[in-house]
Amino acid sequence: MTPTDHDAATLHAWTAVGGRPELVGRVSYAGAGDVLPAKLPVRQLARATVGACSLAAAELVAARGGTGTPGERAAAQRIPEVRVAEGAVATAFHSERHLRIDGRAPTAFAPLSGFWRTSDNWVRTHANYPHHRARLLRALGIPDDGSRDDRALAGVLAAELATREAAEVQETVYAGGGLAVALAPAPAAAPDELVPLVETREAAERGSRRLPARAPVAAPADGVRVLDLTRVLAGPVAGRTLALLGADVLRVDAPQLPEDADTYADTGMGKRSTLLDLGAAGDREVFEELLATADVVLSAYRPGALDRHGLAPEALLDRHPGLVVAQLSAWGWTGPWAGRRGFDSLVQAGTGIAAIEATGAAAASGRPGALPAQALDHGTGYLVAAGVLRGLTERQETGRGRRMRYSLAGTAAWLMHGVRREAPSEGAYDARRWMTACESPYGKLDHALPPVGYPGGPDGWARPVGLWGADAPAWR
């Protein structure tokens, strides 16, 4: 492909995060064959989200260099052309599968997570975290006294679910705080109104915080301070990407919600991690001190979950109008499911993607399928990072922060109804080309290289992953 080639998906992703349409021609792709094969156009979605993020990084580099207004600096320096390697994209979208920790492959899904046959349909459960596992079993009345391992409990769970209807399982487990979603049929046609891919609202007032102009700029997000209030997987991918691009990303978790070590080993590259209980006065004071000089807040808790702490986006922008606030949810921001918990696999089941992707003998038996990667999570993560970078570029000129809202359901709707399939690019794919290794507190990590980049940009993280929760609650 020539440096000016681009596709409709890249244009849509770029303009969705507020990019100027005339710049999208600066993105091109190096093919790797038919990577991420699926019935739905996963390859097109994946490369478009990474392409938009790479272009946003290049734009911010230009906006921060030299003198004059951001617009004049960008025009004078010319935003560099960006070439994205589809092999790197495919590997990064499988980053959690390619990860090796001292040669060990992490377990992708726990034994009680997956599709189960019910009396009338299928249901998808998610029980990777201990508290979700416990709530699932408790809601279904399955005793867990420790005498049976999860392999044995899986048989009990299968037998129990086979006696119930999928919708009843879904609502019973939800009422008990667990995670289960009934399989939705493949949509016959696009709905009249799609869930938005990105919703953006600019702050009403100007803030005082700007990024210093530097020539040359070491990295686009150099000096950017990011409070990362996210967990698996889209939000951590966004934070990991911003850390790659120079940001000081400080992940903040509650002490009572421990993280899976394997998951953090994959998504914590370049970040620091601290523990704060926002319900405790002392920890809340420390958090407010961090917030006072932050540039970005990433939030992936359920809609409204942080409002009681005064951290609703509107409240944040009222107090700190220069903040760039990016929120993520599973099911969107309106409707009866907006407040529900969710993960990529559950959204695939609940939107019809799993029904669409059923193939071969499984399809003949009615068993659902799945996308070749957790593409809703990864794709949304790169879109969030792209939107944050664009928000920082705009803030250089206007002084105003913004609130952005994303959802896995919005990305799912775009994949099903808004992305056009195109013929695979020429080329061959070897994931080993897009892997590297480093030492970490968890052991030797073989991990995916970052797919986001621009000429002269960083080709890896400045620091490996550290221990979850082990850093001081302070900026670098």
Positions annotated as catalytic residues are: 377
156, 148 Cβ separation under 8 angstroms: yes
How far from 88 is each of 21, 31, 244, 417, 475, CA to CA, in Å? 25, 10, 15, 25, 31
- List CB contacts of 330: < 8 A, sequence separation 6 or more: 340, 341, 342, 343, 346, 347, 407, 408, 409
Backbone torsion region of residue 114, taken as left when φ is above 0, otherwise alpha when ψ lies between -120 and 50, otherwise beta: left
The residues facing 438 across adjacent strands are 445
CA–CA dist 203, 201 (Å, integer): 7
Side chain identity at residue 345, one-letter code: S
Residue with tokens 């390619």: 98
- List CB contacts of 185: < 8 A, sequence separation 6 or more: 352, 355
Looking only at the bridges linking them, the beta strands covering 402-407 and 324-329 are parallel
CA–CA dist 291, 119 (Å, integer): 50
Cα-atom radius of gyration of the chain, to the nearest Å? 22
Backbone torsion region of residue 368, taken as left when φ is above 0, otherwise alpha when ψ lies between -120 and 50, otherwise beta: beta
- Residue 42 burial (C-beta neighbours within 10 Å; 0-12, 13-18, 19+): buried
274, 473 Cβ separation under 8 angstroms: yes
Cis peptide before 328 (omega within 30 of 0): no
CA–CA dist 135, 174 (Å, integer): 9
